[in-house]
Amino acid sequence: MKRLLLALVLVSPFTAMAADKASDKDPFTQGSAKAGESKAAVCAACHGPGGNSAMPDWPKLAGQGSSYIAGQLKDFKSGKRNNPIMAAQVINLTDADFADLGAYYGQQKVTPGLADKAAVATAEPLYRAGDAARGIPACASCHGPKGTGNPAAGYPHVGGQHAKYTATQLTAYKSGERAGTPNGQIMAAVASKLTEQEIQALSSYLNGLH
């Protein structure tokens, strides 16, 4: 009997994992990647097949944290994040749709770009260690050493993102335009201390980070 109980204990975690896989439920949003794939067809026009946008003005969504994507889509719909184009796209979508889209993009692989070598000297120390004298924390402390983010905390995947898009968003944080959420306020406080040169350098650096 003891041997049988031990076997059940050892097998149960793997059984649970198999059940989760079979159910196709994302652990953070409970969305379905399979359902999200069909819903993402219209998104490909701007964000590219599988979420790898070829246009630097539009972000890559591949590999992004599922909870982050779902949260941002909700913010577009509610107006917490101001973007008329995205607001029109999500107006008729539900929270279940957001969860499915997040689950789908979270399973895709991002295609990294290239960093300008000249940007590394400025960006890497900021990304890895921050600047204590100016009260700038290390970007890696939230976004990870390879820029993969923290899905559980809702911190986004930034590695491989288009430099132009990243620079636009950091500038929006710096101006306070994207300070409408708790995490937005954190980023606004950080970005307000960055120079334009540092924003450009970090954006290029992140494009090649993977």
Instruction: Find the helix or strand (DSSP H, E) in which 187 lies.
Output: helix 182-191
The amino acid occupying position 137 is P
Span 198-209, average pLDDT: 98
Three-state DSSP at 25 gives strand
Answer yes or no: do 150 and 79 share one domain.
Answer: no
- Asked if residue 123 and residue 96 are part of one domain, the reply reads no
Lowest mean pLDDT among 21-30, 74-83, 131-140, 191-200: 21-30
Q: Kindly state the average pLDDT of the residues 1-9.
A: 40
Residue ending a domain, choose from 45, 75, 106: 106
User: Could you say which of 81, 106, 131 is where a domain stops?
Assistant: 106
pLDDT of 187 > 80? The answer is yes
Residue 4, SS3? helix
Would you say residue 138 lies in a domain?
yes
Rounded CA separation 120/16 (Å)? 44
Residue 95 lies in a domain: yes
Q: Are residues 101 and 122 in the same domain?
A: no
- pLDDT over 70 at 44, yes or no: yes
116-155 pLDDT, tens digit each = 999 999 999 999 999 999 999 999 999 999 999 999 999 9
Is the residue at 12 inside a domain? Answer: no
Task: Indicate the Cα dihedral angle 123, 198, 110, 168, nearest 10°.
Answer: 180
- Those residues whose C-beta lies under 8 Å from the C-beta of residue 17, and which sit 6 or more positions away, are none
For residue 88, tell me if it sits in a domain.
yes
Residue 3 located in a structural domain: no
Cα three-residue angle 55-56-61, rounded to 5 degrees? 80
Instruction: Please give the pLDDT value at position 23.
Output: 63
Q: Are 149 and 65 in contact (CB under 8 A)?
A: yes
Question: Tokens 């390879």 belong to which residue?
Answer: 146
Do both 121 and 203 map to the same domain?
A: yes
Q: Name the region of 181 (left: φ>0; alpha: ψ -120 to 50; beta: rest).
A: beta
124 and 191, same domain (yes or no): yes
Structural domains in the chain (count): 2
pLDDT at 10 over 50: no
Residues 102 and 177 in one domain: no
pLDDT the model gives residue 145: 97
62 in a structural domain: yes
Determine the average pLDDT of the residues in 193-201.
98
Q: Are residues 96 and 151 in the same domain?
A: no
- Which range is least confidently modeled, 12-16, 23-27, 35-39? 12-16
Report residue 112 CA to chain centroid gap. 14
- What sign has the CA pseudo-torsion 191, 185, 148, 138? positive
How far apart CA 136 and CA 38 sit, in angstroms, is: 41
Same structural domain for residues 138 and 79?
A: no
Q: 6: part of which helix (H) or strand (E)?
A: helix 2-23
* Residue 181 in this model has a pLDDT that exceeds 70: yes
Question: What is the span of the domain harbouring residue 54?
Answer: 27-106
Residue 1: pLDDT over 80: no
19 pLDDT higher than 50: no
Same domain, 135 and 177: yes
Distance in angstroms (rounded) separating the CA atoms of residues 94 and 209: 33
> Going by C-beta distance under 8 Å and a sequence separation of 6 or more, which residues neighbour residue 30?
99
Could you read off the pLDDT of 148-157 as tens digits, one per residue?
999 999 999 9
Domain assignment present for 57: yes
Domain holding 99: CATH number? Answer: 1.10.760.10
What integer is the mean pLDDT of 101-130?
97
Say how many CA atoms lie within 13 Å of 51 toward its Cβ. Answer: 27
Confidence (pTM) = 0.87
In a domain, 147, yes or no: yes
